[in-house]
Amino acid sequence: MSDETPLRVSEIFGPTIQGEGALIGVPTVFVRLGGCDYRCSWCDSLHAVESAYRESWIPMSAEAVMDEVARLSGGRPLLVSLSGGNPAIQPLAGLIGLGHDKGYCFALETQGSVARDWFRDLDMLVLSPKPPSSGMEVDWTAFQACVDAGQGADMVMKIVIFDETDYQWAQGVAARYPHLPLFLQPGNHTPPPPDDDHALVDQAGVDERMRWLVDKVTQDGWFQARVLPQLHVMLWGNKRGV
Ligand SMILES: C[S@@+](CC[C@H](N)C(=O)[O-])C[C@H]1O[C@@H](n2cnc3c(N)ncnc32)[C@H](O)[C@@H]1O
Ligand SMILES: Nc1nc2[nH]cc(C(=O)O)c2c(=O)[nH]1
Ligand code: SF4
Ligand SMILES: [Mg+2]
């Protein structure tokens, strides 16, 4: 796939704040790419995953994406967050190079199923391996290839936790990758259906899971883990484009 291949863009929005993980609170524009090789049972972005929504994904050149990012940011360079879907299945090297030339930074979120040599060009690579509650099974060879490809970028791991089984699984993963800063994020068990971006979130339920997670980590003395909510979900619920 060459870099002239258009990107399949589900949405570009912002500036908002990065609501999750290591860069929480940092102003950013999101570029959400369409298409994913996973089908997590609790995915909160199915409009960028399910092929039924494929016709809403706009083919765009890297230049057109950067033009839209620059329009939204008023021409001021900022952090661009690449998400999806799995953004790793798209040819993003050109976009990253173009944006860097203009002073923009790039973070990319991926489950770690597809490695790309351009991962090393990112400013931050967020690897988010999927726990048992997702219904997915991690291919650890592919995941390791992502870790190898990302050498040179800042790299962190972010694991979504729904239950005790996920928690124990995350402890095993953390032991396998002790050098990767680890962020634990409580699962949103009422994610939006793909055709309804105003669906209400069960915030009380998310808060309860967050408290449970903090109790677990502190009681277990798991002091390498950082526990963070999805800040954008706290502020805006399941609303899309924020
Ligand atoms: C929609 S995914 C897109 C990027 C990539 N496919 C991935 O999963 O890392 C972005 C982030 O949202 C997280 N996420 C998805 N659904 C969630 C939910 N219901 N509750 C909490 N986090 C969720 C994912 O684990 C991932 O860290
Ligand atoms: N504000 C905000 N922060 C986010 N962090 C990760 C997101 C995602 O859907 O990938 C996301 C999102 O959609 N909005
Ligand atoms: S890997 Fe990410 S985008 Fe794909 S289905 Fe899972 S949470 Fe959704
Ligand atoms: Mg999201």
75-120 pLDDT, tens digit per residue, is: 999 999 999 999 999 999 999 999 999 999 999 999 999 999 999 9
Indicate which residue's Cα is closest to atom 1 of ligand 3: 38
Q: Grade residue 1 by pLDDT with cuts at 50, 70 and 90.
A: very low
Q: Are 75 and 22 spatial neighbours (Cβ–Cβ below 8 Å)?
A: no
Q: Are 42 and 19 spatial neighbours (Cβ–Cβ below 8 Å)?
A: no
> Counting atoms of ligand 1 from 1, which one is nearest the CA of 130?
25
Is 56 annotated to bind a ligand? Reply is no
DSSP letter (8 states) at residue 111: -
What are the residue boundaries of the structural domains of the chain, listed by start? 7-236
Ligand nearest to the CA of 184: 1
Predicted ipTM of the assembly: 0.98
- Geometric angle at alpha carbon 209, from 203 and 210, rounded to 5°: 85
Indicate which residue's Cα is closest to atom 3 of ligand 3: 85
pTM passes above 0.80: yes
Instruction: Scan for tokens 């870099």, then name that residue.
Output: 3
% of residues, the chain, pLDDT over 70: 99
7-236 CATH fold: TIM Barrel (3.20.20)
Mind listing the pLDDT tens digit for each residue in 223-235?
Answer: 999 999 999 999 9
Q: Are 213 and 170 spatial neighbours (Cβ–Cβ below 8 Å)?
A: no
Residue 4: per-residue pLDDT: 74
What residues does ligand 3 touch, defined as CB less than 6 Å away?
A: 36, 38-40, 43, 45, 49, 84-86, 111
Q: Are 127 and 158 spatial neighbours (Cβ–Cβ below 8 Å)?
A: yes
Nearest to 225 by CA among 18, 17, 43, 22: 22
Mind listing the pLDDT tens digit for each residue in 145-179?
Answer: 999 999 999 999 999 999 999 999 999 999 999 99
Give distance in angstroms: CA of 152 to centre of ligand 4. 26
